[in-house]
Structure 1
Amino acid sequence: MTSFVFSSRTTSRQRWCAPIVGGMLIAASAMQPAFAAASDIKALYNVTFAGFLIAKGTLGIRLKGGAYAAKVQISTSGLARIISSEESEASSRGSLSSSRVIPASYDLYSKGDKITEVDMKLRGSDVTKVRAYPQLSQADDRVPVTAASKRNVVDPLSAVVMPIRSADGAFDPDACDRVLPIFDGWTRYDIKLAYKDRVAVESDGYTGDAVVCSARWIPVSGHRANKKSTLFMQDNRDLEMWLIPAADASVLVPYKISVKTMRGTLQVVATRFEGADTTTTQAAK
């Protein structure tokens, strides 16, 4: 889900589906060997803006035999339903190699004031087919989306499959040391993560540590270079992603995402986990 949150686009076309995480929502980086048995991860999230509840989301991930499948659903909630009612659903599938996540398909459908759809197919991390509606508007400062922009990428929802590089490395600084090359159907951008802290957290289904990663949004193509929101997000230092380990799987999943926007702070926070590793030791206070 993470990557949706980091997108510079606004309103219903901000593609709320997946960070939680995005957007987040995802990793072309080292992965542990394929899992012999199925591992199921489920999480519930609250989305707040400027302190007000605006949406609720569910995230499900299944890892089995070198393959993964993920699904996220988000709907407006609280005061936001008075202004607009929107429901979004995204799903992705792919395989796990010894070195990375390799997405094969990504689908998004969002309905509200407008309909938003993406149907994308990938092979070897390269986009082979994409249909995205609505189309990007024409603008003189729009950076063209080239064929190169759609190679060696992951979709936004696959971004929530975050590999742990070693058996005891869930909270090592290098757990955050990665760049997520994301293509969402319209735009290509990178999310650059870096280690910031390790903190104790608690929610229904998980009590333990979270690794805190700072994040940077780096536009590559499809964005409007001179738009205020693009310039703001490029320079934005108030982005964080908190990650926790999942039981029986060598992955981290989002516990919290926090993004400062031009109009206030957007936060995605987990309220419940099934399949999270509850045996981790809390950070020293």
Structure 2
Amino acid sequence: MLVAPVVFGATLILASGSASAGETYRNEYRVTLLGLPVARATFVTEVTRPGYTITGTISSAGIANVFTSLDAKTKVTGQVADDKHLQASNYNLVYTRGKRTRVYDVRYAGGNVVSTTITPQPNRNKDRWLPVSASDLRSVLDPVGGLTLPDDGKICSRTLPIFDGESRLDLVMSPKGKNKFTAGNVSGEAIVCSVRYVPKSGFNKGRSDIEYLRSANDMEIWFAKTGTMTLYAPVYARVPTRVGTLSITATRFGA
């Protein structure tokens, strides 16, 4: 599912937010390719302490609709651990491309995947498919809440192990400075992280779009401090593709 198309995988990974107990926050994103609109996304985070729920919708827009309609609906539920970590218990994605719909469902316990299903099952090329091993499913993050990070002074000095229901990947981050951002009526300073995409399993070997991302050296995610729970969440991402730069920009952030 990830990077097919890249816009939906990247937006899912970028889309995280936070709220204090009993509060609801809404994040909205604009997705452009070479400056042209291709998608829009909305994510709503509800924290009920100790639980939380993140629901999201992603829809193709602009020039993307000329080729095919794309739509995704996602929901993550879990627990707030130590008042600063979002630990998922269930991740669900309903992904529609044209007339084809596929449902991904993942259940977690203690950061480990305990069950994962795809309905209907995709056809696999056994000669090319790199299966996800049991060890790949231990100590992983969901692709929605996994980029909500604690304010520990090491925002960019970490590796994020992501499992999206099909593919297992690492996002290896390193510091790249700071930059100003504006998202609707919210503005401030963001921490800029350089990101290296490392696919682990759950994809076809030799797939050109994955190999392109693997070799890319100009991927970035910007993180800004949220209003509550001493957490940082993404406000911007830049993802290189073979046809140009994909930009995901928050137009509404945490309010």
How high is the TM-score relative to the length of structure 2? 0.89
Q: Of the candidates 112, 122, 139, which is equivalent to residue 97 of structure 2?
A: 112
Q: Of the candidates 137, 147, 157, which is equivalent to residue 160 of structure 1?
A: 147
Superposition pairs of residues 78-157 of structure 1, within 5 angstroms: 78-98=62-82, 100-113=85-98, 114-133=100-119, 134-135=121-122, 137-157=124-144
List per-residue Cα deviations over 1:201-260 (Å, max 9, x = no partner).
Answer: 223121111111110111111122322223222111111001111112221121111100
Using the TM superposition, name which of 259-268 and 132-141 deviates more: 132-141
Q: CA deviation at 1:61?
A: 1.6
Match of 2:192 in 1: 212
- Following TM superposition, where does structure 1 have runs of at least 4 consecutive aligned residues deviating by more than 6 angstroms? none
Contact 1:211 1:244 survives alignment (8 Å): yes
Contact 1:257 1:267 survives alignment (8 Å): yes
Give me the whole-angstrom Cα distance separating, in 2, the residues matched to 1:206 and 1:240: 21
1:25–1:216 Cα change, 3 Å: farther
Contact 1:120 1:131 survives alignment (8 Å): yes
Q: CA deviation at 1:81?
A: 1.9
Match of 1:246 in 2: 226
**Secondary structure, in 3 states, of the residue corresponding to 1:234?**
helix
**Secondary structure, in 3 states, of the residue corresponding to 2:66?**
helix
Match of 1:16 in 2: 8
Give me the whole-angstrom Cα distance separating, in 2, the residues matched to 1:253 and 1:38: 19
Contact 1:44 1:58 survives alignment (8 Å): yes
Q: CA deviation at 1:191?
A: 0.7
Does residue 223 in structure 1 map to residue 203 in structure 2? yes
Give me the whole-angstrom Cα distance separating, in 2, the residues matched to 1:95 and 1:108: 19
**Secondary structure, in 3 states, of the residue corresponding to 1:146?**
coil
Match of 2:252 in 1: 272
Match of 1:32 in 2: none
Contact 1:47 1:268 survives alignment (8 Å): yes
Q: CA deviation at 1:25?
A: 4.3
Identical counterparts, % of pairs:
25
Q: CA deviation at 1:95?
A: 1.2
1:112–1:143 Cα change, 3 Å: closer
Give me the whole-angstrom Cα distance separating, in 1, the residues matched to 2:186 and 2:211: 37
Amino acid corresponding to residue 160 of structure 1 in structure 2: L
Q: Of the candidates 66, 73, 97, which is equivalent to residue 57 of structure 2?
A: 73
Alignment length, in residue pairs? 250
Amino acid corresponding to residue 142 of structure 1 in structure 2: W
Q: CA deviation at 1:175?
A: 1.5
Match of 2:176 in 1: 196
List per-residue Cα deviations over 1:161-207 (Å, max 9, x = no partner).
Answer: 22222xxx5xxxx2212211111111111111111111112231211
Q: CA deviation at 1:119?
A: 1.3
Q: CA deviation at 1:136?
A: 5.3
Give me the whole-angstrom Cα distance separating, in 1, the residues matched to 2:217 and 2:208: 16
Amino acid corresponding to residue 176 of structure 1 in structure 2: C
Amino acid corresponding to residue 129 of structure 1 in structure 2: S
Using the TM superposition, name which of 207-216 and 221-230 deviates more: 221-230
Give me the whole-angstrom Cα distance separating, in 1, the residues matched to 2:223 and 2:23: 18
Give me the whole-angstrom Cα distance separating, in 1, the residues matched to 2:44 and 2:20: 19
Gaps of 5+ in 2: none
How high is the TM-score relative to the length of structure 1? 0.80
Higher strand residue share: 2
